[in-house]
Amino acid sequence: MGDCVFCKIVEGGIPSEILYSDDRVIAFRDIEPQAPVHFLVVPRRHVESAFHLREGDGELLARMFDAAQKVCAELGVERSGVRILTNVGPDAGQVVMHFHLHVLGGRTMGWPPG
């Protein structure tokens, strides 16, 4: 999709540290990690945000969470716990307009988020 950074990562046009990849989903480390473990899970298909998911995307979402869990297991944070979130729109701070899950772990996290 045009100049979407995550579409470029999906296509291999921008290098990233890929942690998981299948026919629907990829996961890669965030370039500006906010925790010892911080990776992103994105659909290969360009979807602008969680609010742009369609009926029928349930399996895609399940696949994204499954990918997140697999990577967490590999990185040793499945049992210690992680925070999984998705930013939607400007007030939440969504910068890249390609739907992604942030997966953060390796440290305790405060609540509520700032």
Contact footprint for ligand 5GP (CB under 6 A): 5, 14, 16, 28-32, 87, 93-96
Catalytic residue among 38, 98, 100, 102: 100
Binding partner of 25, given ligand 5GP, Zn ion, none, CB within 5-8 angstroms per partner class: none
* Shortest Å distance, C-beta 40 to Zn ion: 12
* 100 is known as an active-site residue: yes
What span, in angstroms and rounded, lies between the C-alpha atoms of 34 and 112? 16
86: its two tokens: 């998705």
Determine, following the binding rule CB under 5 A, whether residue 14 of this chain makes contact with Zn ion: no
CA torsion 20-26-30-31 (nearest 10°) is 100
